[in-house]
Amino acid sequence: MLNLVIWAIRAFYLLSSLAIFAVRLIPALGVRFLVYGARTRNPARGSEDRKSRKQNQPSVGVKFLDYVATFTVPHSWFTHFYVLSIACSLACLFTFHQYAGTTESQDMDIPAFCSMLMLVQGCRRLVECLVLTQPSKSRMWIGHYAIGMAYYMATNIAIWVEHLHVNLIQPRRPDLDRNQGSILWTSKTLICTIIFFWASDRQNLYHRYLSSLKKYTLPEKHAFRWIVAPHYTAEWLIYLSLAFLDAPPSQQQQQNHHHNLQQYHYNQKPATTSINWTLFCALVFVTVNLGVTAAGTKEWLRTKFPDRAWEIIKRWRMIPFVY
């Protein structure tokens, strides 16, 4: 059953990523479903659209797409993502940690810690949305809203599900395990945690800077000098750190424990896989979703500030030296 949940969550991330790619590659879809807020107000494009409508009667397909695009929600509803994420983090910590408390294994310490980090992320982003976001009448397509809500629900479950799956299908380790010190105290955990909090601090800095700008001013300070959307870069780093930090125990190692329990007496730490592949799929979704948005932002900035176009062209969209 849990294996089915794992693959369903992975499928959601990957299929959603493919859908975003498809919408990006098809102009008729991208112009209706990807852009929102200030980026929808492209004077040149608006003039071309008006001329086109005067010369050609819209087809049934175009009318249908226009109709679907009218289903929008206020952009301020972004706060709902973080309210849901906080609620899911608390629910997962309460529900799954109750189960973890009944086991003699320390393997569940990692997802509990990652769930706490996800809770911190949700709380910070909620406060930023409430305090830093400037009032706006902009709207977003309801599909964005639905995928965003599903993403935060799925990600909070993804933190736990692989650990629960391994813990259920393999024999539990004896209570000697609890006396060997927490598996949280490793160099990998320390590095990932530092990256998580450093990226969170940077993202907060970039959000505070953006909120201080006059409307539609070109960002010029901090990492914005080299990257179009460094706040997206920080978000990417946050989920990258969680994907590596939340790596579940190795199933092969668990099987070895079953055949040779006396190895626990030698104070060996349980082996883990290198990465949580379900959260890696979430990282793929974050990369595609924010990458496409960053590309649209770069195009919009070039149109909005034609006198600074060459400077904008030299900026990376999201990931330095890569994209």
pLDDT at 142: 93
Q: Is residue 133 part of a domain?
A: yes
| Residue 318 pLDDT exceeds 50 | yes
Per the DSSP assignment, residues forming a β-bridge with 227 are 316
Q: Is residue 110 part of a domain?
A: yes
Given the structure tokens 């990256």, which residue do they identify? 195
> Model confidence at 210, in pLDDT bands (50, 70, 90)?
very high
Q: Which of 307, 297, 108 is nearest to 216 (CA)?
A: 297
Element (H, E) at 73: strand 72-74
Type of residue at 42: N
| Residue 37 pLDDT exceeds 50 | yes
Which tops the pLDDT comparison, 47 or 323? 323
Q: What is the mean pLDDT of the chain?
A: 83
Instruction: Give mean pLDDT, residues 93-103.
Output: 70
Instruction: Give mean pLDDT, residues 86-110.
Output: 78
Residue 262: exposure state from Cβ atoms within 10 A (0-12, 13-18, ≥19): exposed
Measured CA to CA, the distance from residue 33 to residue 175 in angstroms comes to 54
pLDDT at 251: 57
Q: Is residue 28 part of a domain?
A: no
pLDDT at 265: 40
Instruction: Give mean pLDDT, residues 282-301.
Output: 94
SS3 per-residue string spanning 175-221: HHHHHHCCCCCCHHHHHHHHHHHHHHHHHHHHHHHHHHCCCCCCCCC
Q: Is residue 123 part of a domain?
A: yes
pLDDT at 221: 92
Number of domains in the chain: 1
Which tops the pLDDT comparison, 281 or 262? 281
Tokens of 239: 């989920």
pLDDT at 175: 46
Measured CA to CA, the distance from residue 10 to residue 282 in angstroms comes to 7
Q: State what percent of residues in the chain have pLDDT above 70.
A: 77
| Residue 232 pLDDT exceeds 90 | yes
Q: How confident is the model over 167-189, as pLDDT tens digits?
A: 776 655 544 454 445 667 889 99
SS3 321: coil
Q: Which of 274, 264, 117 is nearest to 180 (CA)?
A: 264
DSSP 253-320: HHHHHHH-GGGGGGTPPPPB-SS-HHHHHHHHHHHHHHHHHHHHHHHHHHHH-GGGHHHHHTSBSSST
* Eight-state DSSP code of residue 250: P
CB 163 within 8 A of CB 107: yes
In this predicted structure, which of 46-55, 145-154, 291-300 has the lowest mean pLDDT? 46-55
| Residue 58 pLDDT exceeds 80 | no
pLDDT at 261: 43
Q: Is residue 172 part of a domain?
A: yes
Q: Which of 95, 100, 256 is nearest to 163 (CA)?
A: 100
Q: Is residue 294 part of a domain?
A: yes
Measured CA to CA, the distance from residue 226 to residue 203 in angstroms comes to 15
In this predicted structure, which of 8-12, 40-44, 221-225, 236-240 has the lowest mean pLDDT? 40-44
pLDDT at 315: 96
Q: Is residue 38 part of a domain?
A: no
| Residue 54 pLDDT exceeds 60 | no
* Eight-state DSSP code of residue 171: P
Give the domain extent around 189. Answer: 73-313
Measured CA to CA, the distance from residue 205 to residue 190 in angstroms comes to 23
CB 254 within 8 A of CB 171: yes
Q: How confident is the model over 59-69, as pLDDT tens digits?
A: 787 888 888 88
pLDDT at 44: 44
Its pTM stands at 0.85
In this predicted structure, which of 131-140, 227-236, 287-296 has the lowest mean pLDDT? 131-140
Q: Is residue 40 part of a domain?
A: no
